[in-house]
Amino acid sequence: MTAATPQLVVHRDKELMAQAAAARLITRIVDAQAARGAASVVLTGGRNGNALLAAIAASPARDAIDWARLDLWWGDERFLPSGDPERNAVQARAELLDAVPLDPARVHEMPASDGVDGSDVDAAAARYAEELAKAAGPADRLRVPAFDVLLLGVGPDTHVASLFPEHPGVRETELTVVGVRGAPKPPPTRISLTLPAIRAAREVWLLAAGEDKADAVALALSGPGELQAPASGAHGTGRTLWLLDRAAADRLPPQLYPPASA
């Protein structure tokens, strides 16, 4: 088995999946901080990503994390004004970030459409790429930090971050961050990490719950090209983990994963 080989964990339902993923992420961050003095996590937007953050907020174990030594990044962002409730960062702050003592200098939101770059989404994407490059270490080949965990929700069309099937962003092989226009999932204009940037992460965790994701999960895990199924191109240098509920795993051959937790 290689790091790109997906490992699957299937939970009874989406609530349990969010709770279990939160416990897993808390432990992973604590271990990274114990080993290296700091940790870096890339957050995802979407219902499952937000449910995970809410579960961390409610966890008695949450303050095992040294919040001041945690770097937070985003895998994608809706290119909207900074306070827009549709922004992933605004939702993440409401679910968790405003309730914990993070170091503001270590919370790296993607630029908003009312920022210094105005409505130029490509300039905003380049700015974020530069921020990632500054945070990269000498050993980080690709001018992005070696994220400990990079979280991705999975869309019903197998998109991850804001990389949609057959769209330009999923074809990008050089840039680490791109502007996205005409996204099939509203809002249409977004900023996204590219697959090369995603693949620089030590661990990539893909979150999918609900029967509306069953076809996407089955397609992405059937070995298609990343152009047709971007989620299939999302893997880490050390681990690729799919966190599912039974409904999202419904179209998978049962031998592909151990029985769901009771």
Ligand X SMILES: O=C(O)[C@H](O)[C@@H](O)[C@H](O)[C@H](O)COP(=O)(O)O
Closest C-alpha to 209, from 43, 26, 49: 49
* E-state strands within 53-176: 70-74, 76-78, 149-153
In degrees, rounded to 5, the angle at the alpha carbon of residue 232 between the alpha carbons of residues 72 and 26 is 30
Q: Binding of ligand X at residue 233 (CB under 6 A)?
A: no
| Cα–Cα distances in angstroms (integers) from residue 158 to residues 9, 25, 31, 57, 189, in the given order | 18, 23, 31, 28, 18
Q: Which are the contacts of 36, defined by CB distance < 8 A and separation ≥ 6?
A: none
Whether the bond between 187 and the residue before it is cis, its omega within 30 degrees of 0, is yes
Q: Which of 28, 5, 63, 1 is nearest to 151 (CA)?
A: 28
According to the binding rule CB under 6 A, does residue 48 interact with ligand X? yes
Chain residues 110-149 in contact with ligand X, contact rule CB under 6 A: none
Q: Pick the closer one to ligand X by CB: 186 or 259.
A: 186
If the CB atoms of residues 103 and 212 are measured against ligand X, the closer one turns out to be 212
| Cβ at position 144, least distance to ligand X in Å | 17
CA triplet 118, 114, 149: central angle to 5 degrees? Answer: 100
Using CB under 6 A, pick the residue from 88, 91, 176, 240 that binds ligand X.
Answer: 88
**What ranges in 37-186 are assigned the alpha helix state H?**
47-58, 88-95, 121-135, 168-171
One residue of 10, 11, 76, 214 binding ligand X per CB under 6 A: 76
The residue among 144 and 150 lying less far from ligand X, judged by its C-beta, is 150
For the bound state, the minimum distance from the C-beta of residue 218 to ligand X, rounded and expressed in Å, comes to: 16
Q: Please, what is the minimum distance in Å from the beta carbon of residue 161 to ligand X?
A: 5
Task: State the nearest-atom distance from the C-beta of 75 to ligand X, in Å.
Answer: 6
Task: Name the minimum Å distance from CB 36 to ligand X.
Answer: 27
Q: Work out which of 6, 49, 230, 233 binds ligand X, going by CB under 6 A.
A: 49
Return the number of the residue (154 or 244) whose C-beta is nearest ligand X.
Answer: 154
Q: Which residues in the 154-213 window bind ligand X by CB under 6 A? A: 154-155, 159-161, 185
Among 5-13, 38-46, 173-181, 247-255, which window interacts with ligand X (CB under 6 A)?
Answer: 38-46
How far is residue 38's CA from residue 42's CA, in Å, rounded to a whole number?
14
Compute the distance between CA of residue 91 and CA of residue 46 in angstroms, rounded to an integer. 9
Work out how close the CB of 5 gets to ligand X at its nearest, in angstroms, rounded to a whole number: 22
Choose between 63 and 212: whose C-beta lies nearer to ligand X: 212
Sheet strand arrangement including 239-245: 7-11, 239-245, 203-208, 149-153, 39-43, 70-74
Between residues 75 and 145, which has the closer beta carbon with respect to ligand X? 75
Q: Which of 145, 153, 169, 179 forms a contact with ligand X (CB under 6 A)?
A: 153
In degrees rounded to 5, what are phi and psi of residue 209? -140, 150
Give contact residues for ligand X (rule: CB under 6 A).
Answer: 44-49, 76, 78, 88, 153-155, 159-161, 185
